[in-house]
Structure formats: structure tokens, C-alpha cells
């Protein structure tokens, strides 16, 4: 995995590819940044996981859509020849959930183990900069 990004597994273990830290969102321009495709997921702040549409208890939750999107992003990554795909979840439980869903899909689990797919917990602070 690219050393420009955090590689500590604080709070996301035991899943490989699940990290806690920050991402340099200042370089995002709608395309890959430093070779990475970043998919940001607002999963609520630390107290809002249960109201997130990515929570299994939410009426709008559709787990089957998560690996479909991730596989499409990996296909895009493969076509572009970049560094990989990173999911940035605003809530620790959200990051853990995405890592667990990915671990249940053979291709995504392999991509996480190789470092071409990662899940980062990037604490959400709402609209504050």
C-alpha cells in the first residue's frame, strides 16, 4: 500500500485494509488523487451510526449494493491503472461495516489483502472545515 496514506489498523482490526486516520481531501478534483480512487461515505458522526442509511437497521439499507459498487470501482481502478480504491467512512462502525461486507466477497477480500482496496475511518465533523 502507498506509504502516503495511514496504515495503522486502530479501531478497524482484525480486518486487513481497514485503517483509521486522515486523507488529504484537498487534492480531490473528481478523479483519482495520487492514483487513488476515494469513495467517501457519510455514515454519521460517532453517535449517528444507527440513523445512517448504511446501518443494517436503516429502512434504506441494501447490503447487496455495497459490493456491487466496490467491484465497479475496482474495475475502474483496473482500467485506469491506478494505486487502488479507498473508502473513507465518517464513523468507526461504518468503516468496520464496510470492511466486514468486503471480507464476505472473494474478490473484495483479495483486494483488501493486497492493498488495492482499503477502508479508512475519517471522523466526520459535519460541515465544519
Q: How far is residue 59 from each of residues 51, 52, 123, 126, measured CA to CA in Å?
A: 9, 10, 24, 22
> Is residue 90 included in any domain, yes or no?
yes
pLDDT, mean of residues 98-105: 96
Question: 64 with 101: CB under 8 angstroms?
Answer: no
* Other Cβ atoms within 10 Å of 122 Cβ, number: 22
> Does residue 7 lie within any of the structural domains?
no
For the stretch 49-70, pLDDT in tens is: 888 888 888 888 899 999 999 9
Any domain includes 114: yes
Q: Is the pLDDT of residue 12 over 80?
A: no
Q: Select from 36, 117, 61, 127 the least CA-distant residue to 90.
A: 127
pLDDT at site 3: 38
pLDDT score for 20:
44
- Averaged pLDDT of the chain: 77
| The total number of structural domains that make up the chain | 1
pLDDT of residue 28 exceeding 60, the answer is no
For residue 23, tell me if it sits in a domain: yes
| pLDDT of 30 over the 90 cut | no
18, three cell numbers = 481497514
Range of the domain at 28: 18-121
Does 13 map to a domain? no
Amino acid at each position: 500500500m502507498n506509504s502516503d496514506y495511514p496504515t495503522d489498523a486502530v479501531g478497524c482490526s482484525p480486518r486487513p485494509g481497514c485503517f483509521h486516520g486522515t486523507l488529504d481531501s484537498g487534492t480531490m478534483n473528481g478523479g483519482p488523487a495520487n492514483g487513488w480512487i476515494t469513495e467517501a461515505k457519510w455514515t454519521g458522526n460517532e453517535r449517528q451510526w444507527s440513523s445512517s442509511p448504511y446501518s443494517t437497521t436503516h429502512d434504506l439499507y441494501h447490503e447487496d449494493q455495497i459490493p456491487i459498487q466496490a467491484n465497479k470501482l475496482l474495475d475502474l481502478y483496473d482500467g485506469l491503472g491506478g494505486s487502488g480504491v479507498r473508502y473513507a467512512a465518517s464513523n468507526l462502525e461504518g468503516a468496520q461495516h464496510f470492511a466486514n461486507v468486503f471480507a464476505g466477497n472473494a474478490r473484495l477480500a483479495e483486494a483488501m489483502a493486497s492493498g488495492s482496496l482499503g477502508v479508512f475511518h475519517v471522523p466526520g465533523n459535519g460541515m465544519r472545515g
